[in-house]
Chain A
């Protein structure tokens, strides 16, 4: 049982939660995630550790309402408890000094991106961050990302804030004007696929953090498997970060929809039961 000590709405359907988890706060590194479960019949879902506070013994999670399980976590209030929380999971980001980093965050990807750029910046890299979303209201963690970047660019599909256009347009502009040593992309699967295609043209080593479907998060089930360079890897223990140019994105995107029909039924039932109450 882990207590929520602070809750804040960042955008429509997106919340920041500060949760008591002293051991995880002490051992987590950039790139790690946890698995959370709400309620005795709840589902185990992976969430990135966005930040931690060693004095308070808390970790920060940013959760977007998608289906039943994320909605249940977002419905919890300050003082209430997440039933189970385990971690830190996954390999931490491989942080080293490489020169200039191009960090591409799409939508909710801003959350997992924050600890990654913090660590790269601390390691002495120049960090250029592009934050992209469909529209102004969906841009989150702007101040935090800006504070940890040498240069910060905002893009929206509809032009309601920052530059108008897809993230790849912004990437091409940066790549055209200066040498990028490594790119990191975190966001929706389709976005990461196109980021990877963009940097491949320019031969820029690129890493993405995959949000595969998971159950245990410890290597026990294989639900999270992904093909990386003709080899099957488990996202939870071999990842979540992989060489973007080696990933079979089409397979990854199909697998993300693997439980779609079942999830939709669960969501309908959940929303019906909410209305009844």
Chain B
């Protein structure tokens, strides 16, 4: 079989100077067709089982092979709301590509499903021909969406196509949720998210920014204004800290704060009013996608040394493999099997972190080997900025402001797996506020499932 076509990238030395230059350049048509030919159109396409929304992978790849990318995008859009994003940010090596015949049976690199998905989506975005989305005639029924992240956007898209009068409420001044304020432009350009938002607007979706449901107005007040049902997709936006000494000194901040300043407020660009701390020696605590985004942003902000401090080993990093690879190319140092125990400072300004050395013990509930401290082995690492990327908690505004909503002990909203309906009849929920932190594709999948199920219920009510 042929070799997997390599994704062309901007060289590390060039891209690491720009916050907005996308790292992957995208496949050319020739490359895409080449790669598409590798797909063997399996009789039992196991790749589909690996995709959380069950995209018909061999079918869309076949269209690319036949040089009909618009047909490929039509296939993709049957199951995914934003293939341009998923092709870029899905953890493919754990999902579709992990289940490709090449990976499972041939021990060879999988078909580059993500890269091909991106190719088809970019082709549509760059061409004048668009896949036309059919919108049913308006039924005049008002539904509200709390949060404009991927989950809320996917829900809104389906509901407007069913004919509903959809309003998306967003607390921030910008639409897109984590896609805008979290994931940096060098991985997912904002313009791609904007294309989707514009298309939703054209289909009739209304957006109310600077509107916090539960504070600006309550769900109850919105009901009085005629909203028949709600989809809550308010995300898991609250940063966690470690509660160790020195954590509140200047120079220690959450990845959310750091990424928000840079991605949402454009701190670092000469014209923006929002400041950001630019460290020389930056340590990011954590090993997920957020940690990779923060550490690579620090490099782009001019850090001389940027390191990841992670309490497990390199093999256990939860981040997408591609991001770890890119981070290494850009000069990030992976300081693994270390756990911060104290931040040291001089007159309230961070100057070092004390870390505990760790080793791997028995596997824990998640099946990963548990990190345990090595007695007496600690180390002091001089740094001037520490960015905490150790996880997030569900946004409590809706759980606190709606009576009768069942909430789990983790603060997530409880919903029926089948219908995405919460304990309050007219409230559905999905994405990170239900899952407590997941992926873009799962958040969008929830939005689409909730739309289908809410539509079914409202239709049944109408026919009564």
Contact = CB atoms under 8 A, between A and B. Distances in A.
A243 interface: no
Interface in A202-244: 215-216, 218-223, 225-227, 232, 237
B395 interface: yes
B30 to A, nearest CB: 40
B107 interface: no
A263 interface: yes
Interface in B208-263: 209-212, 215-217, 237-239, 241, 243, 247-250, 253-254, 256-257, 260-261
Given A69-B273, A84-B173, A220 B249 contact: no
B275 to A, nearest CB: 3
B265 interface: yes
A3 interface: no
Contacts of A259: 275, 277
B172 interface: yes
A218 B171 contact: yes
B250 A218 contact: no
Contact of B275 (A87, A220, A263): A263
**Which of B211, B243, B265, B395 has the most chain A CB atoms closer than 10 A to its own CB?**
B265
Interface string B123-144: 0000000000000000000000
Tell me the dominant secondary structure on chain B's binding face. Answer: loop
Contacts of B348: 251, 254-255
**Which of B248, B273, B276, B277 has the most chain A CB atoms closer than 10 A to its own CB?**
B273
A124 interface: no
B269 interface: yes
B216 A219 contact: no
Contacts of A89: 212, 215
B272 interface: yes
Interface residues of B, number: 41
Contact of A84 (B210, B216, B250): B210
A23 B275 contact: no
B216 A43 contact: no
Interface stretch (A34-42, A137-145, A151-159): A34-42
A142 B238 CA distance: 40
Interface residues of A, number: 43
A42 B130 CA distance: 35
Contact of B253 (A85, A88, A223, A257): A223
B216 A86 contact: yes
Nearest to B210: A86
Given A89-B215, A232-B243, A254-B250, A221 B276 contact: no
Interface string B387-419: 000000001110000000000000000000000
A236 B211 CA distance: 16
A256 to B, nearest CB: 10
B172 A266 contact: no
Contacts of B248: 225-227, 232, 251, 255
B265 A44 contact: yes
Interface string B251-294: 00110110011000110011111111100000000000000000
A24 interface: yes
A72 interface: yes
Interface string A23-51: 11001000000000101011110000000
Nearest to A248: B248
**Which of B249, B254, B275 has the most chain A CB atoms closer than 10 A to its own CB?**
B275
A74 to B, nearest CB: 14
Interface in B365-384: none
17 contacts: A43-B275, A84-B209, A86-B172, A89-B212, A218-B397, A219-B237, A220-B256, A221-B239, A222-B241, A225-B241, A227-B248, A232-B243, A259-B277, A262-B277, A266-B273, A266-B275, A270-B273
Interface of A: 23-24, 27, 37, 39, 41-44, 68-69, 72, 83-89, 215-216, 218-223, 225-227, 232, 237, 251, 254-255, 257-259, 262-263, 266, 269-270
Given A23-B217, A41-B272, A220-B260, 20 more contacts: A23-B216, A27-B217, A41-B266, A43-B272, A84-B209, A86-B171, A86-B211, A87-B216, A88-B215, A218-B237, A220-B238, A220-B256, A221-B239, A222-B257, A227-B248, A232-B248, A254-B347, A259-B275, A262-B275, A262-B277
